[in-house]
Amino acid sequence: MKTENNTKMLKELFINELSDIYDAEQRIGKALSKMAKLATSEELKSSIMLHLEETKTHVTKVEQVFACFDTKAKRKTCKATVGLLEEGESLIEEFKGSCALDAAIISALQKVEHYEIASYGSLHEWANMLQNEEAANFIQEILTQEKVADQKLSELAEARVNKKALTGKDEIIKENSLTVKSKVPKKTMPIVDIGKKNPKVY
């Protein structure tokens, strides 16, 4: 009886948090569209638009996770996402028109990404504990895409966006790839003195 009650409580927690992230994904989708329009870097624009399309599929997959538990999809206001998006909007507005705008956008985006990664990480673990493999697989697909999106933002920031915020110049930072070529003496044919009985090689 105790085990059944515990399982019921974990399932309720799971559905509660699933409703939270369901709301978050839909709010994030709207925010991504706005951020893409403001970004000055074409690479950043493309990266945001790609993740926007992924976010649309995340909404559908979350709905499928609800179905895996025979539960109707429902939203619960995600206060964390609301706060993160408001903070991000304020930060972006403050640096709009400056060379640090794209860096501000990435900072705002990554705060949201890290929240999503934490949420989906917990949901994935709980789905496994509730022995719902199908739900766990859907969540893992989303979690993987969120981690990849976060990594791409880090790479873009490190490669050029942070440099632009510092110098005002849009340059790609590359590792020093200069190689030192060793000077190998050219091979020369030996000189043979054939004018003597015992020719010498010079």
* pLDDT tens column, 59-77: 999 999 999 999 999 999 9
pLDDT tens for each residue of 115-153? 999 999 999 999 999 999 999 999 999 999 999 999 999
Angle value at C-alpha 108, between 141 and 74, nearest 5 degrees: 50
Question: For the residues 180-194, what does the mean pLDDT come to?
Answer: 46
Q: To which H or E segment does residue 193 belong?
A: strand 192-193
CB 108 within 8 Å of CB 88 = yes
The DSSP code sequence of 131-164 is T-HHHHHHHHHHHHHHHHHHHHHHHHIIIIIHHH
Domain 2-167 sits in which CATH superfamily? Answer: Ferritin, core subunit, four-helix bundle (1.20.1260.10)
CB 77 within 8 Å of CB 71 = no
Reply yes or no on whether the pLDDT at 182 is more than 50.
Answer: no
Structural domain spans, the chain: 2-167
Q: What band does 2 get if pLDDT is binned at 50, 70 and 90?
A: low
Question: For the residues 6-22, what does the mean pLDDT come to?
Answer: 96
From CA 189, how far away is CA 202, in angstroms rounded?
10
Give the pLDDT confidence score for residue 174 in this predicted structure: 52
Between the CA of residue 168 and those of 1, 88, 103, 115, what are the distances in Å? 65, 22, 12, 30
pTM for this prediction:
0.81
